[in-house]
């Protein structure tokens, strides 16, 4: 066995989270937590940053809005895409309604059991 294999076995057998880092990279859980933290920070800063960008570049903001509107118009003008979107929205509404009803029924059963 080489020293590299022995190091890998120690890493796999150790219960210490710091030992689970291999090749200087954080573990998957640490990377996921870091990603979530960065995503939350980006989302909270987004409205202010968009407002600043729109004020600094009004013509660019108008062009982006027109492009989004044109894209949405093209997509929604297709009968096939409209029917798919309608089907998906209907299924989503039915499933959401069922979930809400199940939740309310379980809460009602819990209250009646008391």
Q: Where are the domains of the chain?
A: 30-77, 79-114
8-50 pLDDT tens trace: 445 454 444 444 455 666 566 666 788 888 888 888 888 888 8
What pTM value is reported for the model? 0.39
Burial class (CB in 10 A: 0-12, 13-18, 19+), 9: exposed
Q: Is the pLDDT of residue 95 over 90?
A: yes
SS3 content of the chain, % helix, strand, coil (to 5): 85, 0, 10
69-89 pLDDT tens trace: 999 888 888 888 889 989 999
The span from the CA of 7 to the CA of 14, in Å, is: 11
Would the CA dihedral through 81, 84, 87, 90 be positive or negative? negative
pLDDT score recorded for residue 15? 47
């Amino acid at each position: 066995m080489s020293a590299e294999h022995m190091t890998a076995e120690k890493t796999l057998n150790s219960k210490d989270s710091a030992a689970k880092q291999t090749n200087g990279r954080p573990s998957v859980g640490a990377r996921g937590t870091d990603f979530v933290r960065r995503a939350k920070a980006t989302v909270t800063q987004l409205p202010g940053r968009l407002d600043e960008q729109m004020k600094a570049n009004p013509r660019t903001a108008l062009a982006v809005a027109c492009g989004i509107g044109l894209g949405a118009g093209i997509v929604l003008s297709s009968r096939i895409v409209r029917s798919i979107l309608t089907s998906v929205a209907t299924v989503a509404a039915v499933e959401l309604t069922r979930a809400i009803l199940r939740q309310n029924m379980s809460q009602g059963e819990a209250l009646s059991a008391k």
